[in-house]
Amino acid sequence: MTLSLTARLSALSRELKIFVIASLMMGVAYSLVDSTLNNYLNDRFTLSGFERSFLELPRELPGLLCVFVSAALWFLCTRRLGVLAMVLGLAGTLLIGFAAPTYGAVVVCLFIYSMGQHLFMPAASAIGMELAEPGKTGQRLGQLNAVRNMAAIVGSFIVFLGFRFLGFTFQTTFGLSALAFAVAAILMFSMTPKPTTPSKAFLTLHKEYRLFYALNILYGSRKQLFITFAPWVIVSVFQQPTQTLATLMTIGGIIGILFQPLLGWVTDHMGERFVLASEAVLLVLVCFGYGFARSIFPDSIAFVLTCGLYLVDQMLMSVGMARSMYIKKIAKRPEDVQAALTAGITIDHIFSISVALLGGLIWNVFGYQYVFLLGVVIAAINFFVAMRVRIPKPA
């Protein structure tokens, strides 16, 4: 088995090998921050539900600006854009960990960190599809996502061991994250750049892609449930320490190593509509469980159930590859793919920011349960939109 794995790795192209290792380092960097950030904010600033949700404004605003920033950086190919994204992640991580003494400073630092994260999202999908063999796009994206899951395991396991046994502080994890970003940036810079040409496509919306844009609207509306409110339930409602989220991310990463390639295979063989509609159905159940597990079950059972739902939700976030494959298949011109992916990031963040702020208000006024009732409604709408997905037959 080891020889087979070694032979498969040696058969990969130079560019793919570099991108795989860079993705691994990038995944470790993000995992170290994600495993730490909620507890860092809770311990250092003792935020209310609305103050925590307000931090999603600087974290999600870069996604809203992504299309404009990408248009301004048209002279950078996706690989060089990836380098810039890693440098911004490095700078933001260091600033959060070592130069953010106040809530206002965290707002600025999160914006810098998040700008790098959001610039990398469409670039990563575009590079992954660029490095895929014909007919195996989903498989390649699934494999790359599996690599990032392995990275998430490494990052979150480091946090678990560090805080449990090695006396880590929040600054320790932020410093390690910055180091991983630096390595990823160097690796991305070593990839062969692609030629670029000026394009206005980044600032243009095409009516042919309106269903893709609608899917991004719904994704943006629902993702805050996983990114912000689900972890906040675990940390603030169930009063769990840093190790809990780190452990869940480790378990989710282990599951994802198998799940991501399987999801890619299913998307290749069953189609994007099947995958997107199935996600919506499962999300209805997940949201209802998040909101009402504690009302139905004793706290101990409700906590275990909520953790299980968090793992399912973590897997569902990977369905983004199906949206990327969908736009690649319906794109009228090859250059439309990167532009549409970037526009999709911007569109989803318009609604992501709105839901983050609205969700914080709902949490404070009515209770966290009603935030997830909103999620049930979003998931139901997502199902009906997903059922309209059609892939044109090759001419």
Kindly report the CATH class assigned to 14-191+200-386.
Answer: mainly alpha
* Dihedral angle of Cα 227, 80, 343, 71, to the nearest 10 degrees: 130
User: How would you write the pLDDT of the chain (395 residues) with one tens digit per residue?
Assistant: 444 445 555 667 788 888 888 888 988 998 888 878 777 777 777 666 666 667 767 777 777 777 777 777 777 777 888 889 899 989 888 888 787 667 778 778 888 888 888 888 777 777 777 777 766 667 677 777 778 778 878 887 888 888 877 878 888 888 899 999 999 999 988 887 776 655 555 556 778 888 888 888 888 888 777 777 888 888 777 877 767 877 887 788 788 778 878 888 888 888 888 999 999 999 999 989 888 888 888 888 988 998 899 998 888 888 888 888 888 888 777 777 777 877 787 788 778 777 877 887 888 888 888 888 988 999 999 999 999 888 776 65
Q: What is the DSSP secondary structure assignment for residue 77, as one 8-state letter?
A: -
DSSP notation for 82-148: HHHHHHHHHHHHHHHHHS--SHHHHHHHHHHHHHHHHHHHHHHHHHHHHTSPTT-HHHHHHHHHHHH
Q: What is the dihedral of CA 380, 273, 151, 185, to 10 degrees?
A: -110
Within 10 A of 167 (CB to CB), how many other CB atoms are there? 8
Task: Write b or e for each residue in 311-331: b if 16 or more Cβ atoms lie within 10 A of its Cβ, otherwise e.
Answer: bebbbbbbbbbbbbbbbbebb
Q: Where are the domains of the chain?
A: 14-191+200-386
- Take residue 346 and report the two structure tokens written for it: 């911007």
Q: Compute the C-alpha angle 28/39/87, nearest 5°.
A: 35
